[in-house]
Structure 1
Amino acid sequence: MRLSDGEKWWHQQKLASYEFSTKVLRDFSSVVFLANAAKLVAKVSEAATSNMKINLQELLMKCTLASIFKVGFGTEFNSLSESDEIGYQFSKAFDDANVSFYWRYVDPSWKIKRMLNIGSKASLRINIKVIDDFVLRLIRLLNAK
């Protein structure tokens, strides 16, 4: 059911389409990715000046995840900060779930493990629950705004 019909509906759709254009998305994404890249550079610089070892792959993944969350959900995801425990749990579950999916291609027994809920498939179920809980919490938070 539409709230308006005919010419009025067409006009509303035309106005809304400008908000979701490729250019608007590209411009917003660029701002978000640049801001998170600056945070990443600060982390790397801090580690370099203090002669501290870092896991660059992990930091790059966190930076990408933070950017995608801001662009996709319109909310900050402090994955570059170790102080956000819920964000850390989500990131870890997300990474571990990706590893589990990878192993499907090289582990011929993955279907048996899934059926028996053992090994990597048991871990995958736990990780998916963490991811689902996080996303549902985020949806509730966004709906409350």
Structure 2
Amino acid sequence: MTWFIYMLCKHPDIQNNVAVEIRKATNMRNDAMNVEEFANNVSEEALEKMQYLHATLTETLRLFPVVPVDAKMCFADDVLPDGYGVKKGDMVAYQPYAMGRMKFIWGDDAHEFKPERWLDQYGHFQPNSPFKFTAFQAGQRICLGREFAYRQMKIFSSILLGCFMFKLSDESKTAKYKTMLNLHIDGGLDIHVFNRFR
């Protein structure tokens, strides 16, 4: 969620588009209300309408996966798709962080934050193969909590963006990641938060 807020601060037009979709999906007007009232309008039906929000969260995960490097242990001798042989007990690692930026996987705009890449011509979210978008792994090891994670992210972000606007404290600063098991922003994220109820 920190990377999500960071990317929205770097792309205020996208932040605004997400907020407009959220307010439309929850049938909320722009007159004054509080966070609790707004949260009560975030229903399952409303969440299903938030296709652009889903795409924006997914685009954030493409560029900033929670687990940037993942390793697996081989249980038996095998041959990888490229013909490389591995032996039982070998460690094989892949890098979702690097894969999310590879042009031969995502195209020439791989480094751009572009939620629209996840939407069809009607504005509906279209998932990619989990072997391409590896933030939740794939195959037999696909994350069992993927849908729950998306639901949590959508609830939390819809309330935040439905009620608040975010700006970086220092708009010239570029966030750097901290090398850990999970992908953290080094030094945290300093932001200004503004009330949307005005």
After TM superposition, the score normalised by the length of structure 1 is 0.26
Select the structure that is richer in strand. Answer: 2
Structure with the greater alpha carbon radius of gyration: 1
Q: Which has the higher contact order (CA 8 A, sep 6+)?
A: 2
After TM superposition, the score normalised by the length of structure 2 is 0.21
